[in-house]
Structure 1
Amino acid sequence: MNLRRWGALGTAAVSLAGAMVVTGGATAAHADARCNWSWTTINDGAGAEGPGVARGHSHKTGNHYVADMFYNPDSRKYLWSWYADNNGGNDGDTKDTWFGSIACDYAPW
């Protein structure tokens, strides 16, 4: 009886792990921090602060842009800080938020 329960728990754990991998991959595919960019317009919604052009990317879930960069001499990598362009909400604009960081081999500018 105990062995059967552990077997069922193991099967459930493997199924859950597989689901997490699929979900994680799907999430990363449409909203990611990456080491490449193209020019994108940010803050172009009604009521937002003045629109601008930034190094980033656009997709269905919104715009992300590189707001700052830090060079780490120990790793010899550039840490790009990505932000979400939150130009929506009740007041027409919401403060942009940190999205994530990634270590890259080169600077974004």
Structure 2
Amino acid sequence: MKRTLKQWGALGAAAVSLAGVMVVAGGTTSAHADTRCTWGWIKINDSAGGDPISDARGHSHSSGNHYVRDYGRDANSGMYIWNWWADNDGGSDGDTSDTYFGSRWCSNAP
């Protein structure tokens, strides 16, 4: 499907709007700049009582683990969209459901 400049602009506006909603709703947008096009192998779900420990493509830092849960490719541009998720591991229950963290258009697949 060929997209016009107006359609791409609308998609960008929707993404910015979504980011604004996440800030108001208390989402993890403070580290949105850390949705990057590089990754290393990390462990997720490594607290006792949570989901099984697994390896993931992502990064770790002081605000937690973030990993690429899925990705898609735009056939027209050849670009890939990487969907980053926060590993909400830990707490008194051992694990909390992971949450969407942000997306980034990248030139390669993760």
- Structure 2 residue ranges without an equivalent (≥5): 1-29
Moved >3 Å (runs of 4+): none
Which residue in the other structure is 1:3 paired with?
none
> Which of 74, 77, 94 pairs up with 2:76?
74
Which residue in the other structure is 2:3 paired with?
none
The TM-score, its normalising length taken from structure 1, stands at 0.69
Question: Could you tell me how far apart the structure 1 residues matched to 2:50 and 2:84 are?
Answer: 19
Which residue in the other structure is 1:85 paired with?
87
State the Cα deviation string for residues 26-74 of structure 1 (Å, max 9, x = none).
Answer: x448x61000000000000121111000000001111000010100112
Q: Which amino acid aligns with 1:98?
A: Y
Q: Which amino acid aligns with 1:32?
A: D
The structure with more radius of gyration: 1
Which residue in the other structure is 2:100 paired with?
98
Question: Could you tell me how far apart the structure 2 residues matched to 1:60 and 1:93 are?
Answer: 18
Q: Which amino acid aligns with 2:71?
A: M
Question: Could you tell me how far apart the structure 2 residues matched to 1:83 and 1:104 are?
Answer: 16
The TM-score, its normalising length taken from structure 2, stands at 0.68
Root-mean-square deviation (CA, aligned residues, Å) is 1.5
> Which of 64, 70, 74 pairs up with 1:62?
64
Q: Percent identity?
A: 56
